[in-house]
Amino acid sequence: MTRQTYGLIEAGGTKFVLGIAHGPDAVGKTARIVTTSPEETIAAMLAWFAERGPFDAIGLASFGPVELDPASPSWGHILKTPKPGWSGTDLAGPLAQAFSCRVGVDTDVNAAALAESRWGAGQGQRCVVYLTVGTGIGGGAVIEGQTLRGLSHPEMGHIRTPRHPEDSGFAGVCPFHGDCLEGMASGPAVIARYGRSLSELPADHPGLEVIAWYLAQAAVTVQAMLEPGRIIFGGGVMKTPGLMERVRIDAEKLGGGYFRGLPAEVIVRPGLGERSGLLGALALAQEAA
Ligand code: ZN
């Protein structure tokens, strides 16, 4: 059997991580390019891959919103986004055209959920949810080995949560909803309220309690919707010391002992660490091939 070669892309709002994989699970060479204008970023991406093809397939794990309907003329395009210049950008088309291969596309978080369910913290689980808490908040889900899609991909970062009792004065930073989950608990929401990132605040600062409480609300909402075997929390904000433990404790209280999944077991960190995005792209490439 000949070895398969896959091109991998984790397309983010601040950087694109590129990789090459040979075979089922080994990611070889990788590179990072800074996300600037679509023209510049796509040109740099194509140039890096051009020296490393041909490919059996390419996996594209993209920031959202991204069109996932293969029947749509906008398939693989970035949809309406506040990120300047990127609305309507075709990400998948230039790849398919340049390398004459199939391109598997999904959101970064759906792809991360897929990688975690295959190789990471979600192995053996029927349903796995991946939530990333960073510049934004996003969520993806895998059910019975398939990523969850409806009319579009899930938008779990924009669920509504009740307000923390001591967080009444803050309007929230989501340009669409104000005080949705992302508006209240993302990295920019923390800085807008407290002037610093969560990990830079003193350990006894009330902000830690407030943010943990919102994230626990999200976990309990996800439990009520899907009752997943694992809710995997990734992203920069989750590196704050003590945050994960607080989220588990609050989710236990908020859930009232009702759900089958015990927060202490269900709420976990990524098993693949920082690699879940790129391995997600690998999983997408394998499916596309
Ligand atoms: Zn929102």
Does 263 share its domain with 134?
A: yes
| Prediction pTM value | 0.95
Peptide bond preceding 263 in cis form (omega within 30 of 0): no
Q: Is 234 part of any domain?
A: yes
Does 53 share its domain with 141?
A: no
Does 157 share its domain with 53?
A: no
Question: Which phi and psi angles does 158 have, rounded to 5°?
Answer: -105, 20
Among 98, 114, 101, 86, residue whose Cα is nearest residue 11: 86
Does 127 share its domain with 251?
A: yes
Q: What is the mean pLDDT of residues 140-161?
A: 95
Ligand 1 center to residue 88 CA distance, Å? 20
The C-alpha atoms of residue 180 and residue 158 are separated, in whole angstroms, by: 5
Does 68 share its domain with 157?
A: no
| Number of domains comprising the chain | 2
Task: Write out pLDDT tens, residues 126-144.
Answer: 999 999 999 999 999 999 9
Q: What pLDDT was estimated at residue 82? A: 80
Does 96 share its domain with 138?
A: no
Neighbour count for residue 179 (Cβ, 10 Å): 19
**Lookup: tokens for 220:** 């309990």
Q: What pLDDT was estimated at residue 115? A: 97
Ligand 1 center to residue 285 CA distance, Å? 30
Does 156 share its domain with 94?
A: no
Domain extent, residue 11, equals: 6-107+274-288
The C-alpha atoms of residue 230 and residue 263 are separated, in whole angstroms, by: 9
Checking if the pLDDT of 26 tops 90, the result is no
Q: Is 249 part of any domain?
A: yes
Does 62 share its domain with 146?
A: no
Does 265 share its domain with 129?
A: yes
Q: Is 49 part of any domain?
A: yes
Q: What pLDDT was estimated at residue 178? A: 97
Q: Is 1 part of any domain?
A: no
Which has the minimum average pLDDT: 6-10, 127-131, 273-277?
273-277
Ligand 1 center to residue 203 CA distance, Å? 28
Ligand 1 center to residue 162 CA distance, Å? 14
Q: What pLDDT was estimated at residue 29? A: 85
Q: Is 169 part of any domain?
A: yes
Q: What pLDDT was estimated at residue 24? A: 65
Checking if the pLDDT of 61 tops 70, the result is yes
Ligand 1 center to residue 103 CA distance, Å? 29
Does 129 share its domain with 257?
A: yes
Cβ-based burial of 257 (10 A; exposed 0-12, middle 13-18, buried ≥19):
exposed
**Lookup: tokens for 126:** 């029927």
Distances (CA, A) of 257 to 33, 106, 116, 243, 266: 45, 34, 26, 21, 13
Q: For the chain, what percent of residues have pLDDT higher than 90?
A: 91
Does 31 share its domain with 69?
A: yes
Checking if the pLDDT of 1 tops 60, the result is no
